[in-house]
Structure 1
Amino acid sequence: MSIEGLGRVVVVIPTYDEASNLAWIVDRLRRAQPGIDVLVVDDDSPDGTGRIADELAAADPQVDVLHRTAKGGLGAAYLHGFAHALDAGYDVIGEMDADGSHQPEQLVRLLEALLHADLVIGSRWVPGGSVVNWPASRELLSRGGNLYVRLLLGISVRDATAGFRLFRRTTLEKIDLASVRSTGYVFQTDLVARTLAAGLTVREVPIEFVERVRGDSKMSGAVAAESLKRITVWGLSERTAQARRALRRRRP
């Protein structure tokens, strides 16, 4: 369905073992934004999440489901969902976690900001943003990781790893999704960097991020360390490519 000034909007929700959360979060999203469609992308969850998604879709024509045959990672799930949404003709394509950490009631902030942007990020680390039920160690890790990303890539986005966001269709069409190979939390950073490199506008709006209360978190110290390692390798490669492009432009 259409949102005034933005056209047709869909929010992609990737899932893996979110049986205890999916119906709850989809209901909240549909109540908060009745004009927005939902696309669940399930990575063959062994806990029955895919079956629940099918039941939701059968009961609501604004809910659709994509079933993937294996757990392929966050980036692969989003790319699959984005391709489907683009083929379906959506004008705005969003991202949101299934665990309740991203509050559907705050999606209106992102929608309003997208009227004057190409990508909007729901940010924990801009003034007015916050986290709930996080230990100090995890907040330090996230803030530090994002500071590292800003320094590594030379960007000003304060929450480049955030997964609550809205893209204009035209943005996804300009950033060459076919060449994206990044996965996990690197995927989120990669898409921000690509959007900025394309000369497009990225805005951050403050959100309250709430740590999940049901189900198991996919984040751990090992996952965070691996993400930072991958961001370092990818970021250094991107910086090298930027330098080469700048050098070519200077040559007569």
Structure 2
Amino acid sequence: MPAESAPEADALSPVLIIIPTYNEVDNLERIITRVHEHNPQVHVLVADDNSPDGTGELADKLAAADKRIQVMHRAGKQGLGAAYIAGFKWGLEHGYQLLIEMDADGSHRPEDLPRMLKALEEQNADLVIGSRYVKGGKIVNWPLTRQFLSRGGNTYIHIVMGLKVRDVTAGYRIFRRGTLERLGLDTVESGGYIFQTDLTRRVSNLGMKIVEVPITFVEREIGVSKMNKNIMYESLWRATSWGVEDRIASLTGKRKKQRQS
């Protein structure tokens, strides 16, 4: 079923998982199967960036066999952030109340999602982050150098931006509909992994509640990670710029005015 067609109204789940894909043909079916094994009620939107390996065609096949699956075919590789923004907008247009970010490669375990959903409701959160860096969180199969860079980057962002979130760059998230509607999605320009930091900052600056839930992050077994040094440098540069901008705004009272408006 193409993403342009809405699911039947009486079958609409309030929960939509958005899975961006680019060359994930070996991972896609297994992650969706795991999603529905542990969370049978949720819907899935595959946002494929015209993968040359046939991921989009596989997504169409899966959608044809399961009304809980939708597919968004995008013109080409435009970045993680752009895929999520497109998915968020589609989900909001079609009435979903909870919108979830999840990687296709299995690093975000569907088994952790019920605990995240429970925390959202019990703690009345606006955003729930599946966190590697709070007590109980852990990483499996990452080399020490990758762990050092990730932890170091998160610590730097945490300090320079004044955010209380421990895992600012985490990509496993649950947003309430109302949270996304307040973020100004049309003004989000960050496209790569810094997109996660950007949205965290926006939620925090609006005074909304962010809750971190410990998860087990598992490095992909199939395929190649999209992370590289350029992405890391861009993240640190943008985080520094935002940190300076937010501190100046705080000093001049602009943030207070924004919260009151």
Residues in 1 aligned to 2:167 and 2:192: alpha-carbon distance in whole angstroms: 15
SS at match of 1:110: helix
| Correspondence list, 1:76-115, <5 A | 76-115=82-121
SS at match of 1:184: coil
Residues in 1 aligned to 2:256 and 2:94: alpha-carbon distance in whole angstroms: 39
SS at match of 2:147: helix
**Structure 1 ranges of 4+ moved more than 4 A:** 246-249
Residues in 2 aligned to 1:207 and 1:67: alpha-carbon distance in whole angstroms: 30
| Correspondence list, 1:173-192, <5 A | 173-192=181-200
Residue of structure 2 equivalent to 1:151: 159
Any stretches of 5+ residues in structure 1 without a counterpart?
Answer: 2-6
> How far is 1:223 from its partner?
2.7
Q: How many matched pairs?
A: 244
Residues in 2 aligned to 1:60 and 1:39: alpha-carbon distance in whole angstroms: 12
Residue of structure 2 equivalent to 1:38: 44
Over residues 80-114 of structure 1, what are the superposed CA-to-partner deviations in whole Å (9 max), with x where a residue is unaligned?
00000000000000000000000001111110011
Indicate the RMSD between aligned Cα atoms, in angstroms: 1.7
Residue of structure 2 equivalent to 1:59: 65
Residues in 2 aligned to 1:45 and 1:175: alpha-carbon distance in whole angstroms: 29
Q: Residue type matched to 1:102 in 2?
A: H
From 119, 144, 149, the equivalent of 1:141 is 149
Identify the range of structure 1 (220-229 vs 97-106) with the bigger mean alpha-carbon deviation.
220-229
> How far is 1:248 from its partner?
8.4
Any stretches of 5+ residues in structure 2 without a counterpart?
Answer: 1-6, 8-12
> How far is 1:244 from its partner?
3.2
Residue of structure 1 equivalent to 2:30: 24
> How far is 1:125 from its partner?
0.2
Structure 1 residues 15 and 247, CA gap change in structure 2 (3 angstroms): closer
Q: Residue type matched to 2:179 in 1?
A: T
Structure 1 residues 248 and 75, CA gap change in structure 2 (3 angstroms): closer
From 129, 132, 147, the equivalent of 2:137 is 129
Residue of structure 2 equivalent to 1:4: none
Q: TM-score, normalised by structure 2?
A: 0.89
Residue of structure 1 equivalent to 2:219: 211
> How far is 1:25 from its partner?
0.4
Residues in 1 aligned to 2:112 and 2:199: alpha-carbon distance in whole angstroms: 22
**Sequence identity (%):** 53
Q: Residue type matched to 1:71 in 2?
A: K
